[in-house]
Amino acid sequence: LHDKVVAVVARLFRSLRLDVIVEPTSLFDHSLGDVSNQRPDIHIRNPRNSRDQVIIDVALTGVDGQSRTSDEAVERPLQVRYDQKIAKYGQVAKQNELRLIPAVFSHTGQVHEAFKVFAKEQIRAKLEHFEGPVKNSKVRSHMNWWVKCISAVIAKTASRNVAFKARKLSDSIMESQDSFIMREFEDAEVYFGDDCEEIVADAGNNADLYAANQGSTELINEAYTEEAPLRFMGQDVFHHQPLSLD
C-alpha cells in the first residue's frame, strides 16, 4: 500500500512538470553521521517558489489507534505520524539544506495539512506560470482531485488486502474442518475396531455435509476499480472510478 501511494504522489507532482525522483540514493551527506536508514520516498529537485530542494516521506495511519485520545481528536493520529517523520528526517534535512514535507494519509482518506499546503503551493505556481493569476477556487478544485486520486489508490489496495485475507481465512477454516473430520474418523476406526463399516458410513455423511458447507463459505469478492486516462494540466494522468463490489 505504501509503495502504491508513493507512486501516485510522485506522478501527481510530475504532472506539474517537476523533476521528481522516487527513493533517491546518496541524498544525505554521510559525513554528518549515520544516515544509512534514512532515505525519503520522494525527492523534488526543482520545486517552484522554493529556494531549497524538497524531500517527501509518505506515511499511512489508521484513525482509531491508541494515539487518538478522544472522539473529537480525529486529526491526532495523523499528527503523531507527522511528528515521527519530523523526528526522523528533520535534523538531517536541515543539515543538507533540504525542505522536508511529511505526507501523512489515513486509511479513510484524510490528509495532513502540511502536505496539502505544499501541494496547493506547487499547483498555484504551475497555473500562474502558464496561465497567469488564478482564483483560489481553481487551486482548491485541483487539490480536491489530487486527494481523490490518492484516496482511490488507498481504497483499491486496502479492499484487495481485505479480500486476500478473507480468502486465506476461508481456506484455513476448510483445512481445519477437513483435518478434524479425518482425525475423528481415524480415531473412531481405531477405537471401534469391528464396527468399521458403520464408522465409514458416518464419515461419508460428514463428508457430504462438509462439501455442502464448502460451497457457501466464500467470505468476500475482491473489490476492483477501473482505470481510464484523463488529462490533467495538459498531461495524461489517470482516474479511478468509484469502487464496486461484485
In the prediction, which pLDDT does 30 show? 60
In the prediction, which pLDDT does 222 show? 38
Phi, psi of 146 (to 5 degrees): -60, -45
In the prediction, which pLDDT does 157 show? 75
In the prediction, which pLDDT does 39 show? 83
In the prediction, which pLDDT does 20 show? 96
Q: Which candidate, 133, 135, 122, places its Cα nearest to that of 14?
A: 122
What's the pLDDT tens digit per position in 25-38? 878 766 555 555 67
Q: How many separate helices (H) and strands (E) can be counted in the chain?
A: 5, 8
In the prediction, which pLDDT does 25 show? 82
Q: In whole angstroms, how large is the CA radius of gyration of the chain?
A: 27
Taking 50 as the pLDDT cut, the residues of the chain under it are: 67-68, 190-194, 196, 199-200, 203, 205-230, 238-246
In the prediction, which pLDDT does 128 show? 95
Q: Which candidate, 172, 176, 198, 174, places its Cα nearest to that of 185?
A: 198
The amino acid at 232: F
In the prediction, which pLDDT does 224 show? 37
Q: CA dist 229 to 6, 65, 147, Å?
A: 19, 36, 17
Instruction: Identify whether the C-beta of residue 14 lies closer than 8 Å to the C-beta of residue 31.
Output: no
Residue 239 pairs with which residues in a beta bridge? 228
In the prediction, which pLDDT does 131 show? 92
Sheet containing strand 98-106, edge to edge, reads: 20-22, 42-44, 53-61, 98-106
CA dist 241 and 166 (Å) reads 24
In the prediction, which pLDDT does 156 show? 83
What's the pLDDT tens digit per position in 82-106? 999 999 999 999 989 999 999 999 9
Task: Identify the sign of the CA torsion 128, 134, 140, 144.
Answer: negative
In the prediction, which pLDDT does 27 show? 82
In the prediction, which pLDDT does 146 show? 95
CA dist 182 and 23 (Å) reads 51
Phi, psi of 19 (to 5 degrees): -85, 105
